[in-house]
Amino acid sequence: MTLASWNLVAEEDRSEVLDRIKPIGTVAITGQLAPAEEKAAAPAAAPAPAPAVPAVAATTQPVAASGVDAVYQKSCFACHATGAAGAPKLGDKAAWGPRIEKGIDALMTSAINGTPKGMPPKGTCMACTDAELKSAVEYMVSQAK
């Protein structure tokens, strides 16, 4: 609807249009009050101190956020664990054998560029470096030997 034709719309139709296009929600950012809450908020006393967080034992190990396992789990697992789209399954020597025979360079070309039969470029890990992809490929190859 153009601005010029908006003046030709009956008032009851306008309210229906405005009702249909009104926002259905708002975005809340942690730590910020919504506009309605800002107006209603009265000056408050100093905020209460945050409760103390118990210390974590020194033996706790962080979950690996990177590395070959993270790359495999995030970007390779869905197809190479199930055989989806014809992907050779992890550890399947018969399926990996002919690919391994072509060499790591051929495997890397497939991993980086994808294949016509279903391998997406970079195996859907567009943020992965070639070195990370190579580590994932080498890991899968090692499981098929």
- Residue 29: pLDDT above 90? no
**CATH number at 68-143:** 1.10.760.10
The pLDDT assigned to 121 comes to 92
Angstrom distance (rounded) from CA 133 to CA 105: 12
pLDDT band at 13 (very low <50, low <70, confident <90, very high): confident
Note whether 103 and 96 are within 8 A (CB): no
The reply to whether the predicted model has a pTM over 0.75 is no
Domain coordinates of the chain in residue numbers?
A: 9-38, 68-143
The pLDDT tens digits for 60-110 are 333 344 588 888 998 999 999 999 989 999 999 999 999 999 999 999 999
